Amino acid sequence: MKGAIGFAVAAATAMFSGVMAKPTFSAATAGTVVDPGTVAEMMVTELNTLNGTLVENPITTLGNTMTVRIHHNFNSNQQLYAYLIGRDRNDVPTVLQSNGQYFYPARVSGPVPTKISAPIGHKLSSKGGYVDIQIPDTLSSGRIYVSEGELTFSAVMSDLGYMSLVQPAFVDPQDVNANKFWGFVEFTLNDAGVFANISFVDFVGLVFSMKLTLGSGATQEVIGLQSDAIQKICQGLKEQSARDGKPWASHCMYRSDGTALRVLAPNIYADLHRDMDNYYDSYVNQVWDKYSREDLFINTQGSRGKVPCRVSGNVLKCQGDSMGFPKPTSRDIFGCNSGPFANTGDDLHRNILARLCAAFNRSELLLSGGNTTPSLGSSKYYTVDPTSHFSRLVHKYEVDGKGYAFSYDDVEVNGQNPAGVVAGAAPKLLEVWAGGRS
Ligand SMILES: *[C@@H]1O[C@H](CO)[C@@H](O)[C@H](O)[C@H]1NC(C)=O
Ligand SMILES: *[C@@H]1O[C@H](CO)[C@@H](O)[C@H](O)[C@H]1NC(C)=O
Ligand SMILES: *[C@@H]1O[C@H](CO)[C@@H](O)[C@H](O)[C@H]1NC(C)=O
């Protein structure tokens, strides 16, 4: 990653007219324009690496196989490529080559990412067609990438002697791949079966639909986002910035010609920029004030039923939960894994924190009826400010309402479960549609 993380043009209009003079630091209503760097500059973070020891026993036999069928439904006439990565049965990071065998990055010298030049890109068919790719054996923490044009992956040795497979970094507007459209489906294929998801927890890029066919013949489907969702979400975030002056528009990354390529989720954005730090402050104060005067009921949706909670001494305390919740900061709310929402404590505490987080995210706690949560259902989510406008827009452009927009998006009411997951034993065929299905 070179220098600071991104910049934005002073006004959105400058971007679309193609008059990209000198990029200056962002007005809140501007998008972020990508500026690709080199392979050696690729960032090495938790979000874009797969780590493990170097290979000792390469997988050569066919084990638990599955066919992945990748349909080209993306609005582009350029050649698309797919990349399949994951950890093999021995937990070693690997990439499936176009010859159907696993490729293991060789020892590289030192901390500078070195490009993988083996033929790891699978050429996809022309628009409307598909290709089948056979996964020869189990893969965990897997990803199926699809990109417009070829992507660069690299490898690096850590000081501790293990290898990191370095992937395109969606957070970095200066990633070597930053100018390209790409996205991925996550999956794990093991001896018990397959689990695959489309998730918008960290970002939205090239969109996907999925369909899983099991050996039994049963099928499961997730349609996910509309094909042109990125353009629409980014437009919606721009409009939101124009309304509230908050840097929603900067969550989007654009090519210099104005094409929207990716949008970061606010938890990721808020970690990199600090201009959303006070976003939820007054809302949190109002919630704490309200529930110092009346009970908030968390519906644990289990044997504990509805648990009453009350603020006293600035801490929200729930019956039977010894831990209590101090006021969350905006970053705690966006990330949902720090401060009072750190994933610790007993089952009851974690059950409550997931529901409390979800209620903040969806801005339900001051609504009429919001004193029991979850209870209101998705038509009431994101209806008042402040809220996660990213989640609001992602759900708005989902065709079937499926695909997580945040970590506890599986907190459901009346069987509405927005998780974008397909899973099952003895999988036969996993189909993905690059570009979605609408
Ligand atoms: C992999 O290791 C690198 C250091 O080489 C580290 O920065 C990164 O966070 C690790 N990735 C994961 C997913 O833990
Ligand atoms: C999606 O699947 C991957 C791989 O199995 C897993 O690591 C990740 O936690 C899943 N995400 C969600 C939101 O379920
Ligand atoms: C709120 O939504 C963001 C994405 O919009 C997500 O990353 C975060 O985990 C969510 N926070 C809570 C408290 O659910």
Give the domain CATH number at 155. 2.60.110.10
One domain for residues 264 and 287: no
- Which of 154, 162, 164 has most ligand 1 atoms within 8 Å of its beta carbon, as the pocket-test mutant? 164
The domain that holds 310 is classified in CATH as 3.30.920.50
Give the integer Cα–Cα distance in Å for 333 and 364. 13
Take atom 8 of ligand 3 and give the residue whose Cα is closest. 334
For the whole model, what pTM was predicted? 0.86
One domain for residues 79 and 208: yes
- Using pLDDT thresholds of 50, 70 and 90, give the confidence band for residue 201: confident
Tell me the mean pLDDT in the region 227-244. Answer: 95
One domain for residues 395 and 433: yes
Lowest mean pLDDT among 242-251, 278-287, 391-400: 391-400
Judge if the beta carbon of residue 199 lies within 6 A of ligand 3.
no
Going from the Cα of 44 to the center of ligand 3, the distance in angstroms, rounded, reads: 24
One domain for residues 293 and 318: yes
pLDDT (0 to 100) of residue 7? 32
Tell me the mean pLDDT in the region 392-420. Answer: 66
Give the integer Cα–Cα distance in Å for 227 and 240. 21
Percent of the chain scored above 90 by pLDDT? 69
Q: Six-digit token pair at 248?
A: 């929603």
Number of domains the chain is built from: 2
pLDDT (0 to 100) of residue 409? 55
pLDDT (0 to 100) of residue 410? 56
Q: Is the pLDDT of residue 328 over 80?
A: yes
Angle, helix 281-293 to helix 347-361, in steps of 10 degrees: 120
Q: Please give the full DSSP string across 43-96, using - where no structure is assigned.
A: ---GGGEEEEPPPSS---S--S-EEEEEEE-SS--SPEEEEEEEE-TTS-EEEE
Lowest mean pLDDT among 44-48, 261-265, 270-274, 315-319: 270-274
Place of tokens 């506890």: 408
Around 24, how many Cα atoms within 13 Å sit in the side-chain half-sphere? 9
pLDDT (0 to 100) of residue 58? 79
Going from the Cα of 334 to the center of ligand 3, the distance in angstroms, rounded, reads: 4
Give the integer Cα–Cα distance in Å for 283 and 280. 5
One domain for residues 267 and 220: yes
Q: Please give the full DSSP string across 399-417, using - where no structure is assigned.
A: SSS-SBSSTTTT--BTTB-
Going from the Cα of 189 to the center of ligand 2, the distance in angstroms, rounded, reads: 12
One domain for residues 272 and 286: no
- Domain end, chosen from 364, 385, 406, is at 385
Going from the Cα of 46 to the center of ligand 1, the distance in angstroms, rounded, reads: 5
pLDDT (0 to 100) of residue 405? 56
Are 436 and 230 in contact, with CB atoms under 8 Å apart?
A: no
One domain for residues 259 and 375: no
One domain for residues 114 and 35: yes
One domain for residues 290 and 359: yes
Judge if the beta carbon of residue 64 lies within 6 A of ligand 3.
no
One domain for residues 380 and 400: no
Are 321 and 352 in contact, with CB atoms under 8 Å apart?
A: yes
What is the per-residue pLDDT across 19-63, written as a single tens digit (0 to 9) for each? 333 333 344 558 899 999 999 999 999 999 999 887 777 777 777
Going from the Cα of 271 to the center of ligand 3, the distance in angstroms, rounded, reads: 13
Which residues have C-beta within 8 Å of that of residue 156, sequence separation ≥ 6? 44, 108, 110, 111, 112, 113, 114, 163, 164, 166
Take atom 14 of ligand 1 and give the residue whose Cα is closest. 46
Q: Is the pLDDT of residue 312 over 70?
A: yes
Tell me the mean pLDDT in the region 206-233. Answer: 93
| DSSP annotation of 24 | B
Q: Six-digit token pair at 169?
A: 């970094």
| Nearest ligand (C-alpha, residue 185) | 2
Going from the Cα of 282 to the center of ligand 2, the distance in angstroms, rounded, reads: 33
Around 199, how many Cα atoms within 13 Å sit in the side-chain half-sphere? 15
| Mean pLDDT, all residues of the chain | 87
Going from the Cα of 413 to the center of ligand 2, the distance in angstroms, rounded, reads: 22
One domain for residues 164 and 103: yes
Domain that includes residue 246, residue range? 1-278+387-438
Judge if the beta carbon of residue 108 lies within 6 A of ligand 1.
no
- Using pLDDT thresholds of 50, 70 and 90, give the confidence band for residue 399: confident
Residue 427 CB-density burial (10 A; 0-12 exposed, 13-18 middle, 19+ buried) = buried
Tell me the mean pLDDT in the region 9-17. Answer: 31
- Ligand 1 atom with least separation from CA of 44: 7
- Using pLDDT thresholds of 50, 70 and 90, give the confidence band for residue 319: very high
- Which of 47, 170, 316, 336 has most ligand 3 atoms within 8 Å of its beta carbon, as the pocket-test mutant? 336
What is the per-residue pLDDT across 349-392, written as a single tens digit (0 to 9) for each? 999 999 999 899 889 999 999 999 988 887 888 888 999 999 89
Residue 209, strand partner residues: 433
CA-to-CA dists, residue 115 to 41, 94, 389, 410, angstroms:
11, 14, 37, 38
Which residues have C-beta within 8 Å of that of residue 325, sequence separation ≥ 6? 315, 316, 317, 318, 340, 352, 353, 356
Tell me the mean pLDDT in the region 300-309. Answer: 91
- Domain end, chosen from 368, 385, 402, is at 385
Q: Six-digit token pair at 304?
A: 């504990």
One domain for residues 208 and 73: yes
